[in-house]
Amino acid sequence: MRGRHMPAPFSYLLIRKMTMRKYHDSMTGQLLKVQGLYMAKNRATYSQEVAEGPQAVREALSWAGERVRDIYVTEDVLQRYPEFEEMTDGYWTHVVPENVLGQVSGDAQGILAVLNTAPKPDIDSLFDNTDLVLLGVEMQDPGNAGTVIRTADAAGAGAVLFGTGSVDHGSAKVIRSAAGSTYHLPILGNLDPRSVIATAKKHGFQVLATDGDGDVTLGSNEVDLTVPTLWILGNEARGLQGEILDRADVTVSIPIPGKAESLNVATAAAVCLYASVLARQA
């Protein structure tokens, strides 16, 4: 079993009894620290993050179990999701009242986990080990960022990168929106987009930037999506600006035959990534 274990002969039930017994005199400060992890500065200070809800916690235990430090769960969730009793065996698991967990987060759905932040991989190694990467530049909405991560995971991308000015990908809202995909592929944030582009080109990637007035239209034969590709998408309102567009090999527009002015950035990411997937399957 991966994770932080109690030594034998302690069992899951004993962990539950111990934490419930200690709740009134020792857990308040611990829960306040957990609540503090919803602030970016505290996540950076402690190198920890929070996964909320059954889906995110299940994926964290399955794919990043060695990073899980503590689990906070209600009796109701243990009854509704019996698999958690076995999955959390050997981890520091604290059974807390629903109203108390609700004060820590209104979105926990009865369970949350505290994890150590994933170690940052070397960006060169990322480009060495994949042929499809997405870079978000000044992507600021956590729901969009999480959906982009989930979509990239589904499309088989090797990494998701976020440039400076983007949302913190370690925020609970991003992790929740990613529905567990945060733990399936490398994610790096606070990167200089210019440096990412240079690294991608060094590793033989073509750099495609989305733009409403792109050089080519997605779906045309003017761009080869079967080769290693870095897709770049921009801010929800402003898109990508001059310097990034200038550094791309090609700017690509998504055809919109209907009356909508534009696509949501997460939807645009899905269209672009799956264009690459379909091209490679043809």
pLDDT the model gives residue 282: 85
Average model confidence (pLDDT) across the chain: 90
What does the pLDDT read at residue 3? 41
pLDDT band at 6 (very low <50, low <70, confident <90, very high): very low
* pLDDT value at residue 14: 38
CB 231 within 8 Å of CB 133: yes
| pLDDT of 19 over the 50 cut | no
- Region 252-262 average pLDDT: 95
- CA-CA distance, 65 to 57, in Å (whole number)? 10
Q: What is the pLDDT of residue 26?
A: 61
Q: CA-CA distances (angstroms) from residue 25 to 20, 28, 120?
A: 10, 7, 37
Instruction: Note the pLDDT tens digit of each residue in 202-226.
Output: 999 999 999 999 999 999 889 999 9
Name the pairing type of β-strands 250-253 and 159-163: unpaired
Residues 225-245 have pLDDT tens digits of 999 999 999 998 899 989 999
Domains and CATH numbers, the chain: 21-116 (3.30.1330.30), 123-281 (3.40.1280.10)
pLDDT in tens, 113-170: 999 999 999 999 999 999 999 999 999 999 999 999 999 999 999 999 999 999 999 9
Percent of the chain with pLDDT over 90: 83
Half-sphere exposure of 12 (CA within 13 A, CB side): 14
How far is residue 41's CA from residue 136's CA, in Å, rounded to a whole number?
21
pLDDT class of 199 with cuts at 50, 70, 90: very high
pLDDT reported for residue 149: 99
